[in-house]
Amino acid sequence: MRALRPLRHRRFRLLWAGLAVSLVGDGLWLVALAWQVLDLGGGPIQLSLVTTCFSVGLIGCVLLGGVVADRVSRRRVMLAADAVRLVVTVALGLLALTGVLALWQLAAGALLIGAAEAFFVPAFTALVPQLLPEDELLAANGLEGVIRPLALQALGPALGGLLVASASAGDAMLANGISYAVSVGCLAAMGPVPLPVGGAPAAGSVAPGVEGAAVAVGAGGMRGAVAEMREGWSYVRSQRWLWATLLFACLAVLFLLGPIEVLLPFAVRDRTGGGADAYGLVLAVYGAGGALGALWVAGRSLPRRYLTTMLLAWGVGSAPVALFGILEVLWAMVAVSFLVGVCDQAGQVIWGTLMQRRVPARLQGRVASLDWFVSLGLLPVSMALAGPAAELVGVTAVFVVSGVGCAVVGLAVLLGARLRADELAHPLDARAS
């Protein structure tokens, strides 16, 4: 089966297993964090403060994380990031169990976890093509697209809820720490993976040399780090397909994430009469749809019209979000959530593959970090605007503008940036359909 081919490679198998377990832990953390804030007597404002600290750590460090991922062994960067997350989550869990945890400690821990995530993600993105042949990258991204929603949005929160209910939020935090320990073990078992030298490594291989031989950021100083960030920006500006897609991602976040994160619970409650269980069902089905979409794309060749397919999946595939403000029966909302999940992850798998195949190996960490930085940059703005917009024009109008607006932006970027010509000029798979 094409979608499972990457698992034939031992080092990728270890990487994927560690990621899967740590994503379950991340899902545990989401539940543990919320209930720990409640146990400390906090409310929505306090929970918002803690989650904002995570976002600040992530956005504030992600560009530097990309530079480090292109300078230092990517496996070692991931090891260090997971080690930090392991220490922080275990420390918070022990503080909670001993009854001395304070809100400021939880906020500081979230900041450190977000910063560690900022180093982990670019390194992971850039490491995968060092472990696999080019023709298996689509399947590898599909596997990630399957496990991420299932582990992070379904299994992890479900286990977290059981742990918090049967034990405590502190115990759930310790379980999250154990998941990072498993990831550290898997990364350690992979053995050295040196940086590629002078460009992309040969298919399924790594460049010769000693792991970590590249100089660290500190050796070149901040001036060198800034210069390397600029090099990444310059590359992005020179690639029409890249900056156009990042522009779409930025606007899609503005249109979609705030309304979905802030207003969907109210739409479920007020329009269908459902409670927390109904809202959880809508989210879980979105994750299941995402897993199916990723698996479907992973089992096929990369589409010949890969940019067209990706932007249609993201843009037009997000149009049904408009129905969240109109539908009054739960099963219809569930169906919309499933469809949007399929399209979202299908596009994500193609995007991850393009990042690994069209971006030079020596720049992949920086470009991945720029992707995250741009994609997350307007997230706080979207969150801040969703509530007041709903008060001003109503939840229905906000969802209609979100879904239709994202579809219009997707089509405008596809046609306005002439991406259909770009994808024909840069074929990636001779067998693509």
pLDDT at res. 432: 45
- Cα(168)–Cα(113) distance, integer angstroms: 21
Does residue 204 lie within any of the structural domains?
A: no
Question: Are residues 184 and 262 located together in one domain of the fold?
Answer: no
- Cα(64)–Cα(120) distance, integer angstroms: 11
Q: 191, 216, 242 — which closes off a domain?
A: 191
Question: Are residues 247 and 110 located together in one domain of the fold?
Answer: no
Instruction: Name every residue whose Cβ is closer than 8 Å to that of residue 312 and which is 6 or more positions away in sequence.
Output: 410, 414
pLDDT at res. 215: 41
User: Tokens at residue 113, please?
Assistant: 């976890």
- Cα(377)–Cα(372) distance, integer angstroms: 8
Instruction: Name every residue whose Cβ is closer than 8 Å to that of residue 318 and which is 6 or more positions away in sequence.
Output: 252, 255, 256, 340, 343, 344, 402, 403, 406, 407, 410
CB atoms within 10 A of CB 229: 18
pLDDT at res. 45: 67
Does residue 205 lie within any of the structural domains?
A: no
- 273 sits in the region (left: phi over 0; alpha: psi -120 to 50; else beta) called left
- Cα(210)–Cα(225) distance, integer angstroms: 22
Q: Assess contact for 144 and 14: CB atoms under 8 A.
A: no
The burial class, CB within 10 Å (0-12 / 13-18 / 19+), for 366 is buried
Nearest to 10 by CA among 184, 191, 136: 191
Question: Are residues 261 and 350 located together in one domain of the fold?
Answer: yes
CB atoms within 10 A of CB 192: 12
Q: How many helices (H) and strands (E) does the chain have?
A: 17, 0
Instruction: Name every residue whose Cβ is closer than 8 Å to that of residue 241 and which is 6 or more positions away in sequence.
Output: 307, 354, 358, 417, 419, 422, 423, 426
Angle among Cα 121, 124, 126 to the nearest 5 degrees reads 110
Q: Assess contact for 258 and 383: CB atoms under 8 A.
A: yes
Q: 137, 161, 191 — which closes off a domain?
A: 191
The burial class, CB within 10 Å (0-12 / 13-18 / 19+), for 64 is buried
pLDDT at res. 207: 39
Question: Are residues 159 and 271 located together in one domain of the fold?
Answer: no
User: What domain range includes position 255?
Assistant: 234-433
Question: Are residues 242 and 327 located together in one domain of the fold?
Answer: yes
The one-character DSSP state at 259 is I
* Residue keyed to tokens 């600290």: 53
Does residue 229 lie within any of the structural domains?
A: no
- Per the structure, the count of domains in the chain is 2
Does residue 314 lie within any of the structural domains?
A: yes
Question: Are residues 249 and 389 located together in one domain of the fold?
Answer: yes
Question: What is the mean pLDDT of each successive set of 10 residues along the chain, which is 433 residues long?
Answer: 83 94 89 82 73 83 88 93 97 95 93 94 90 87 84 80 84 94 96 71 39 44 71 90 93 87 80 76 82 86 92 95 93 93 92 89 84 77 79 90 94 93 83 46
Q: Assess contact for 114 and 55: CB atoms under 8 A.
A: yes
User: Tokens at residue 299, please?
Assistant: 């089992």
* Residue keyed to tokens 């310790």: 174
Q: Assess contact for 300 and 391: CB atoms under 8 A.
A: no
Does residue 392 lie within any of the structural domains?
A: yes
Does residue 217 lie within any of the structural domains?
A: no
Question: Are residues 174 and 305 located together in one domain of the fold?
Answer: no
pLDDT at res. 216: 43
Q: What are the backbone dihedrals phi and psi of residue 417, each rounded to the nearest 5 degrees, phi first?
A: -90, 5
Does residue 425 lie within any of the structural domains?
A: yes
- Cα(188)–Cα(341) distance, integer angstroms: 34
Question: Are residues 5 and 136 located together in one domain of the fold?
Answer: yes
pLDDT at res. 358: 92
The one-character DSSP state at 262 is I
User: What long-range pairs does 430-433 form, CB within 8 A, spacing at least 24?
Assistant: 431/301, 432/301, 432/302, 432/303, 432/304, 432/306, 433/300, 433/301, 433/303, 433/304
Question: Are residues 366 and 429 located together in one domain of the fold?
Answer: yes
Say which CATH number the domain at 178 has: 1.20.1250.20
Q: What are the backbone dihedrals phi and psi of residue 426, each rounded to the nearest 5 degrees, phi first?
A: -130, 70
Question: Are residues 247 and 142 located together in one domain of the fold?
Answer: no
Q: Model's pTM, two decimal places?
A: 0.73
Q: Determine the distance from the C-alpha atom of residue 399 to the mean position of all C-alpha atoms in its chain, rounded to a whole number.
A: 23
pLDDT at res. 222: 58
Q: 137, 171, 191 — which closes off a domain?
A: 191
Instruction: Name every residue whose Cβ is closer than 8 Å to that of residue 38 and which is 6 or more positions away in sequence.
Output: none
CB atoms within 10 A of CB 102: 10
Question: Are residues 87 and 165 located together in one domain of the fold?
Answer: yes
Question: Are residues 286 and 150 located together in one domain of the fold?
Answer: no
Helix-strand-coil split of the chain, %, nearest 5 = 85, 0, 15
- Cα(144)–Cα(127) distance, integer angstroms: 13
The burial class, CB within 10 Å (0-12 / 13-18 / 19+), for 340 is buried
Does residue 210 lie within any of the structural domains?
A: no
